[in-house]
Structure 1
Amino acid sequence: MLEMKAVVLAALSSLGLYAQWITGYYGSGNADEPVSAIPWSKYTHIVLFAGGPCAANDGTVCMGHLTQSDIDAFIANRPSGKKALVSLGDQCAGLHGCGDSGSWIADTAPGLVETFAQNITNFVNSNGFDGVDFDWEGVGSGLKIPVSQYETLLSLVRAALPNKTITMAAGNWGGLPTVAANQQANLDQVNVLCYDQDQISTSWYNDAIHPSTFGGGCSSRTAELTSSGLAAAKVGVGVPFYGRRWTGCTQINQKCPQSGAFSYAQLVADTTRWQPTIYKSNYLSIPNSDPSDSEFDSYNGVEFMADVTAWAASNKFGGFMTFALEYEYFSNQTGDARYPLSTALYRAVFGTTPAIAENSASYATGTLAPDMIAYGEASNIASALTVAPEGAWPTTLSGVTLEITDSQGQIRPAAIYYVNTNSIAYLVPAGTAQGPASAKLTTSSGATISGTLNIDRIAPGLYSANSSGSGVAAGLAVRASSNGTQSWGYLFDLSSRNPVPVDLGPAGDQVYLSLYGTGFRAASQATATVGGVNVPVYGFAAAGAYQGEDLINIGPLPRSLVGRGEIPIQITFDGKPANLVTVSIR
């Protein structure tokens, strides 16, 4: 199984911290920012906004806001390594034949949904998009969405576009949390509409992180999705590049009318309002001698990006989404100054902050276990990648050391698997006592970085083939045939790391899954579900391939899973769930 060892080692040495993304919406046909000025360098995905189902309710796709010239220029300007998606939603009613949510309901009904899914597939492929974003919010149908119809559409489009990116915009209404949770195996991102929280009768923030008794917040919206079963790694936090104005008040929770919206660029360019002596990171409070002319302007500025990224990281969310790029664009500036919000968000997300006690499989922070492989990230750890030689890992590698002080005051050096410029993988020392602990990392230059953690008996994590902590599992399918022979295969393609569908074979065959992870060898029991179906746990233990690696075997897989496609694997050890990974079943 040398290839599997290489996969797990690759997962450890991956430089990405969580499978993070930044996805930005760009409004087709906008008059402010040309396609050639899109800041691709600040994003992993750009979504062209937006078309939708035709009002004719015949399963066809209408352009809506889109123009063919914008599509062609958008695709032509896409740099290598970036993803260009198209958004299809219910925000384009009346434009070029586009319908509202009523058309979505009609086109996803039984008998027509297959045609609609095929037309979406054709639209994506014929225009050269890397994927599709679904933005069905329920506009025009009272925010009510037929859950089963939406799920059927997503399943059909995923089957038709197995190698494309599929994202979904979601809120906490109309059944969207259920759709997102049930279809997460078919979705690469679920970007939460954290803005428009101020649709109330009192002044409030457009995009607050936390709610109050009188206004909503992003934490409550995301909580409704994750409590429905959506994995945190699938969640993208929405950030608006626009704000709203209230007149007759100067602070939150005041009875005053909302008088309109503005883009961030418009606000900053308005010198009568934007003054350094009065601006804040979330609002402008502008008093006036005539109280009726006072203003409360809610927006999300440069300073907000550090706050929202820190909060998202603490919740292990997968990434961020912004709406919309043209709302922050300054044509009279050059370089990054043209994109102040995108630049601040990019630096906050992909800038390195110390986090030296993480599960190397799930990237969960805070709790580790003895004899597990941990991961850390900080700036300037070493000058280059150095991997420990075969055999026992050293406690000093390229001049780098890491010590853990446990709850009993015992200091133990950690064996180090690799160090890189901004990352490290190491083994939590055997015998480390449970309870609060601290870690001290000494870099190759002699600088020290400290962090706190908790040591528990177990801290389960499962490796994924793409090194992200989610997606197809780093594991094997083992077949016991009815004729007594055994065979095995990887759950993923060794080159692309995409899922390889598992064939359960004839009724007499039994198929088991062997999944690699860390932090669970000391558990006393485990339970497993695959696609929500209970599956027996055959056994788990230290894998033995190298230090810290654990292995769990589950199965046989029930034949009721045949044809399910990519579905989640949930394994719980002594009541503690590991991160969700997936398997594809033919």
Structure 2
Amino acid sequence: MKFTLICCLLLHAAVLISAQKKVVCFWGTWAAYRAGNGKFEVTNIDPTICTHIIYSFMGAKEDGSVTYLDSFMDLSDNWGKGYIDKFIALRSQSPNTKFMMSIGGWNAGSAVYSKIAASASIRDTFAQNVLNMLNKHGFDGFDFDWEYPAQRDTAYGSADKANFVALLQTLKTKLAANGKLLTIAVAVVQASASLSYDIPNVAKNVDFINLMTYDLHGSWDGVTGINAPLYAGPRDITSYQQQLNIDAVIKYWLAQGAPKDKLIVGIPLYGNSFTLSNSSNYFVGAPSSGAGTAGKFVAQDGFLPYNEICYNIKNGVFARYWENTQKVPYAVGGNQWVGYDDAESIAYKVNYIQDNNLGGAMFWSIETEDFNNICGNGKFPLIKMTYQALIGNTTITTPTTVPPTVAPTTVAPTVGPTQTPTVAPTVAPTTTTTTVSPAGPFVCPGNGLFKNPADCNSFYNCWGGVAWLQYCQVGFVYNPNGYCDYPSNYKC
């Protein structure tokens, strides 16, 4: 990738500057407990590169009370770190930035919010307690990250959908009257969002919507996939697979009545990683044996922060590749594979935001950016680049990235069925379902890819007893080693 490409892409974005665009930055405060290059404290924050910074997370109880999840970190009492006060004090460096707090997140589950939303009196209590917390510390607003209404461990099932709107109405009434913002973070893919949200009425009651357009692929898929692709890939065949990209998400939310200027596109500052089944087969869609090995910066299998990815590329541990259809990079080192975002892919996403008149960009999350400049492009290069393009307050600089390596010549199999985003697959059911092939029903012998005995060009991708019939590209045959191959390499 030539440096001029990114420069041109960003200049194109800058032409369409809108003062109303937003650059929303979430901060996961628990990064303060990490070591080395993973450690991120409130002093590492640059408040001048975000229009909104969100302190994550606070908690809630079924009675509508609001709690601190880590009072030692959050407060100054009893010799605590006092991060909330220090966070709000950053306003002196950037008076126009909005400093907000969030309640929720994946680890909080769904049940507690399902119960709060189901009762008018508890909704009112919760809203008042949120307002009290905002006023006590000087936050400018509240981001509600319920993951997700009518899903997971919900207490009231499908009733959550209407109850969520009622809760947002109560929150909006109370917060707006006191000059506070209300935003939400949401599941985005049609299959999930349709269960959780009455989109037109949700949109009416919030200032903007943080679309979690990431975790669209991960190790739960069983094959490699990009964390946050801009467009569908050539191997996305089923209707569900075609939902797993930013373009499809935006089109769905707009079709459901969400205003363009309230949609904030989520951009991950991390990659989802995989362990390849065959290190010589490393295309998007290659079979994987599970999550990638935990890195040194964040000790979590299947997850690599951007700063560690760029560091590994810089030092030759990973080679960078470019998937042109989906406008995203991926990196490979031995049997380790990671799909992520860098300056080039974010430039495409910034252009997409501008071209479609969307509200802006949201980053999850700032503590996994290159905040210490270990890769040589300055501190927070990706967020700064986005801010310069969307807000236009400073001159756009040309980021420095690594040119893509030549792609491998082998062909990966078609992507198989994926699980619900952000959820690792559970134990497969014991019952067996089959699809009908020309030779009759195919019974899955287990999870994985299996040769179609009736057709050399196709294969079965089995998960949970369900056999998905899929095809190699024309002229290729399925190799039982787990990929599509040239006929000269494998005699079917």
Q: Same fold (TM over 0.5)?
A: yes
Alpha-carbon spacing, 1:165–1:191, altered in 2? closer, same or farther (3 Å):
same
Counterpart-to-counterpart distance in 1, 2:90 and 2:376: 17
Counterpart-to-counterpart distance in 1, 2:336 and 2:376: 32
Counterpart-to-counterpart distance in 1, 2:154 and 2:172: 27
DSSP-derived class of the 1:161 partner = helix
Please say if residues 318 and 332 of structure 2, whose CA atoms lie closer than 8 Å, have aligned partners that are also in contact.
no
Indicate the residue corresponding to 2:65 in structure 1. Answer: 60
**Cα offset, 1:273, TM superposition:** 6.4
Which residue among 204, 213, 219 is the counterpart of 2:247? 219
Counterpart-to-counterpart distance in 2, 1:174 and 1:332: 37
Residue 113 (1) aligns with residue 129 (2)? no
Please say if residues 88 and 139 of structure 2, whose CA atoms lie closer than 8 Å, have aligned partners that are also in contact.
yes
Residue 192 (1) aligns with residue 199 (2)? no
Counterpart-to-counterpart distance in 1, 2:303 and 2:319: 23
Counterpart-to-counterpart distance in 2, 1:251 and 1:296: 9
Counterpart-to-counterpart distance in 1, 2:135 and 2:19: 29
Q: Specify the code of the residue in structure 2 equivalent to 1:132.
A: F
Q: Specify the code of the residue in structure 2 equivalent to 1:210.
A: Y
Structure whose alpha-carbon radius of gyration is higher? 1
Indicate the residue corresponding to 1:492 in structure 2. Answer: none
Please say if residues 314 and 375 of structure 2, whose CA atoms lie closer than 8 Å, have aligned partners that are also in contact.
no
Indicate the residue corresponding to 1:478 in structure 2. Answer: none
DSSP-derived class of the 1:152 partner = helix
Alpha-carbon spacing, 1:225–1:271, altered in 2? closer, same or farther (3 Å):
closer
Indicate the residue corresponding to 2:305 in structure 1. Answer: 263
Please say if residues 319 and 333 of structure 2, whose CA atoms lie closer than 8 Å, have aligned partners that are also in contact.
no
**Cα offset, 1:177, TM superposition:** 6.8
**Cα offset, 1:209, TM superposition:** 0.7
Please say if residues 240 and 323 of structure 1, whose CA atoms lie closer than 8 Å, have aligned partners that are also in contact.
yes
Indicate the residue corresponding to 1:183 in structure 2. Answer: 202
Residue 151 (1) aligns with residue 165 (2)? yes
| Superimposed CA distance per residue, residues 495-542 of structure 1 (whole angstroms, 9 cap, x where no aligned partner) | xxxxxxxxxxxxxxxxxxxxxxxxxxxxxxxxxxxxxxxxxxxxxxxx
Please say if residues 211 and 264 of structure 2, whose CA atoms lie closer than 8 Å, have aligned partners that are also in contact.
yes
Please say if residues 124 and 131 of structure 1, whose CA atoms lie closer than 8 Å, have aligned partners that are also in contact.
yes
**Cα offset, 1:320, TM superposition:** 0.8
Indicate the residue corresponding to 1:87 in structure 2. Answer: 102
Which residue among 218, 221, 231 is the counterpart of 2:259? 231
**Cα offset, 1:18, TM superposition:** 6.0
Q: Specify the code of the residue in structure 2 equivalent to 1:350.
A: I
Indicate the residue corresponding to 1:250 in structure 2. Answer: 282
Which structure's residues are more often helix, by fraction?
Answer: 2
Which residue among 175, 178, 185 is the counterpart of 1:169? 185
Residue 330 (1) aligns with residue 377 (2)? no
Alpha-carbon spacing, 1:309–1:90, altered in 2? closer, same or farther (3 Å):
closer
**Cα offset, 1:175, TM superposition:** 4.5
Q: Specify the code of the residue in structure 1 equivalent to 2:31.
A: N
Counterpart-to-counterpart distance in 1, 2:319 and 2:217: 25
Which residue among 81, 84, 104 is the counterpart of 1:71? 84
Indicate the residue corresponding to 2:441 in structure 1. Answer: none
Indicate the residue corresponding to 1:582 in structure 2. Answer: none
Counterpart-to-counterpart distance in 2, 1:230 and 1:177: 14
Counterpart-to-counterpart distance in 2, 1:76 and 1:84: 10
Please say if residues 166 and 188 of structure 1, whose CA atoms lie closer than 8 Å, have aligned partners that are also in contact.
yes
Indicate the residue corresponding to 1:104 in structure 2. Answer: 113
Please say if residues 336 and 343 of structure 1, whose CA atoms lie closer than 8 Å, have aligned partners that are also in contact.
no
Alpha-carbon spacing, 1:49–1:176, altered in 2? closer, same or farther (3 Å):
farther
Residue 204 (1) aligns with residue 229 (2)? no
Alpha-carbon spacing, 1:42–1:336, altered in 2? closer, same or farther (3 Å):
farther
Q: Specify the code of the residue in structure 2 equivalent to 1:203.
A: T
Q: Specify the code of the residue in structure 2 equivalent to 1:181.
A: P
Alpha-carbon spacing, 1:125–1:223, altered in 2? closer, same or farther (3 Å):
same
Paired-residue identity, %: 25
Alpha-carbon spacing, 1:318–1:284, altered in 2? closer, same or farther (3 Å):
closer
| Superimposed CA distance per residue, residues 287-318 of structure 1 (whole angstroms, 9 cap, x where no aligned partner) | 64xxxxx2321110111121001112121111
Counterpart-to-counterpart distance in 1, 2:389 and 2:285: 30
**Cα offset, 1:230, TM superposition:** 0.5
**Cα offset, 1:261, TM superposition:** 0.6
| Superimposed CA distance per residue, residues 416-438 of structure 1 (whole angstroms, 9 cap, x where no aligned partner) | xxxxxxxxxxxxxxxxxxxxxxx
Alpha-carbon spacing, 1:177–1:67, altered in 2? closer, same or farther (3 Å):
same
Please say if residues 214 and 228 of structure 2, whose CA atoms lie closer than 8 Å, have aligned partners that are also in contact.
yes
Residue 29 (1) aligns with residue 65 (2)? no
Alpha-carbon spacing, 1:338–1:242, altered in 2? closer, same or farther (3 Å):
same
Please say if residues 101 and 136 of structure 1, whose CA atoms lie closer than 8 Å, have aligned partners that are also in contact.
yes
Indicate the residue corresponding to 2:436 in structure 1. Answer: none
Which residue among 95, 105, 123 is the counterpart of 2:133? 123
TM-score by length of 1: 0.52
CA-based RMSD? 3.0
| Superimposed CA distance per residue, residues 344-388 of structure 1 (whole angstroms, 9 cap, x where no aligned partner) | 2222323499xxxxxxxxxxxxxxxxxxxxxxxx99xxxxxxxxx
| Structure 1: runs of 5+ lacking an equivalent | 1-14, 94-99, 289-293, 354-377, 380-586
Which residue among 274, 283, 293 is the counterpart of 2:329? 283
Alignment of 1:437-476 (within 5 A): none
Which residue among 45, 51, 55 is the counterpart of 2:52? 45
| Structure 2: runs of 5+ lacking an equivalent | 1-15, 33-38, 76-81, 293-301, 397-492
Please say if residues 47 and 85 of structure 1, whose CA atoms lie closer than 8 Å, have aligned partners that are also in contact.
yes
Counterpart-to-counterpart distance in 2, 1:332 and 1:195: 24
DSSP-derived class of the 1:137 partner = coil
Alpha-carbon spacing, 1:175–1:286, altered in 2? closer, same or farther (3 Å):
closer
Alpha-carbon spacing, 1:196–1:273, altered in 2? closer, same or farther (3 Å):
farther
Indicate the residue corresponding to 2:36 in structure 1. Answer: none
**Cα offset, 1:171, TM superposition:** 2.0
Alpha-carbon spacing, 1:297–1:274, altered in 2? closer, same or farther (3 Å):
farther
Counterpart-to-counterpart distance in 1, 2:105 and 2:375: 35
DSSP-derived class of the 2:114 partner = helix
Alignment of 1:391-410 (within 5 A): none
Alignment of 1:368-447 (within 5 A): none
Q: Specify the code of the residue in structure 2 equivalent to 1:282.
A: V
**Cα offset, 1:278, TM superposition:** 3.9
Alpha-carbon spacing, 1:75–1:252, altered in 2? closer, same or farther (3 Å):
same
Which structure's residues are more often strand, by fraction?
Answer: 1
**Cα offset, 1:332, TM superposition:** 5.6
TM-score by length of 2: 0.61
Please say if residues 178 and 225 of structure 1, whose CA atoms lie closer than 8 Å, have aligned partners that are also in contact.
no
| Superimposed CA distance per residue, residues 265-300 of structure 1 (whole angstroms, 9 cap, x where no aligned partner) | 122223686569645483344364xxxxx2321110
**Higher RCO, 1 vs 2 (CA within 8 Å, ≥6 residues apart):** 2
Alpha-carbon spacing, 1:250–1:321, altered in 2? closer, same or farther (3 Å):
same
Counterpart-to-counterpart distance in 2, 1:265 and 1:137: 27
Q: Which stretch shows the higher mean deviation, 234-243 or 107-116?
A: 107-116
Counterpart-to-counterpart distance in 1, 2:331 and 2:27: 30
Indicate the residue corresponding to 2:343 in structure 1. Answer: 302
Please say if residues 209 and 219 of structure 1, whose CA atoms lie closer than 8 Å, have aligned partners that are also in contact.
yes
Q: Specify the code of the residue in structure 2 equivalent to 1:168.
A: I
Alpha-carbon spacing, 1:35–1:287, altered in 2? closer, same or farther (3 Å):
closer
**Cα offset, 1:38, TM superposition:** 1.1
Counterpart-to-counterpart distance in 2, 1:90 and 1:297: 23
